[in-house]
A = this chain, B = another copy of it.
């Protein structure tokens, strides 16, 4: 046996204790708590990424994702990263340098789309609204007419503001102006009515750690035939190897060509998360999210607080609560975490210090959690 050439340096060989994690109630913008059945699924022993058993799991995940998104898109897969990776996958595959991309910016994640699209050489135009408001069909029509973009990107559920963008009629507009419709559904998938195909959405992405109650680490992605056609027309390779859907699709499709090693355990978890959606049924699940959100909104008013978003456009999965004058948002969040083990962080960007963000998502969308939070808030305020 060859001798080892250098002496091992033990500087970073830190002594650590076995992991002890506090039982937090995660009522912020995500991650939300994982359903116990999902944590159980994670305990399963690994199989290979080309094992027939895993291929069957992949097929089930794809079908159940199609159900949850209400799409029949063949290319519906979990990207091997977190939500932002799937966001980037939509742009990396759909944008060619010089393409005009119109982005609705009414929150933090609209700005993220702007940053990402620019990196792929898009000629970015923005349509801006104050954080917490949504876009109307007329202003979308006017902007599409003016800019004639190749892609319109909107955020269905703005995690930074709690606003839900109405989608009826937007797909028709995009067809009228011959552009693709790209939709962020990170905080709506599995908790808020979502009809990708009926709405004419061409590309969408999501996360697992919101209304699906699955740990973060995979990110649902889908594109339809119109979007694939644009991908196939590209002049060069997709300028991102890991997220190149022409290759990822060969692994998830019938060829099963090795691309990268899929996160096996996380796919077990996502499968269980989607099984829970299918068992409950979308209508029941959406209604549950709505009812618990309404319960929370009533409680907030009873405490003399108010919601930042007009009720008609309020997300059931994420509520922004206005911070009263003379209250320090951050210290309330810190006390909730320290004294009550409840996570309820503040706003981002324009809304930093002005709102708290309350997520009632998936497994966490339950009346007892609403009551626990309202009681804790009452004590702390």
Chain A contact residues, CB within 8 Å of chain B: 1, 4-6, 8-16, 19, 21-24, 26, 28, 30-34, 39-51, 53, 57, 60, 63-64, 66-67, 70, 72, 80-85, 88, 112, 115-116, 118-120, 168, 193, 195, 198, 207, 209, 215-217, 237-243, 258-266, 268-269, 271-272, 275, 278, 281-283, 286-287, 290-291, 294, 337, 343, 345, 348
Contacts and interface: CB of A to CB of B under 8 A. Distances in A.
A21 B283 CA distance: 31
A78 to B, nearest CB: 11
Given A45-B34, A64-B14, A261-B31, A241 B116 contact: yes
Contact of A85 (B6, B28, B80, B209): B80
Contacts of A8: 70, 281-283
A14 B60 contact: yes
B46 A24 contact: yes
Given A4-B193, A46-B24, A215 B265 contact: yes
Given A67-B11, A261-B209, A290-B1, A80 B283 contact: no
Nearest to A79: B81
A57 B16 CA distance: 10
Contacts of A13: 64, 67, 278, 281
B26 A242 contact: no
B45 A42 contact: no
A58 to B, nearest CB: 13
B70 A46 contact: no
Contact of A80 (B28, B50, B217, B272): B217
17 contacts: A8-B70, A8-B283, A12-B66, A16-B275, A16-B278, A28-B48, A30-B261, A31-B48, A33-B45, A34-B45, A40-B43, A80-B82, A88-B241, A119-B238, A207-B261, A216-B261, A240-B240
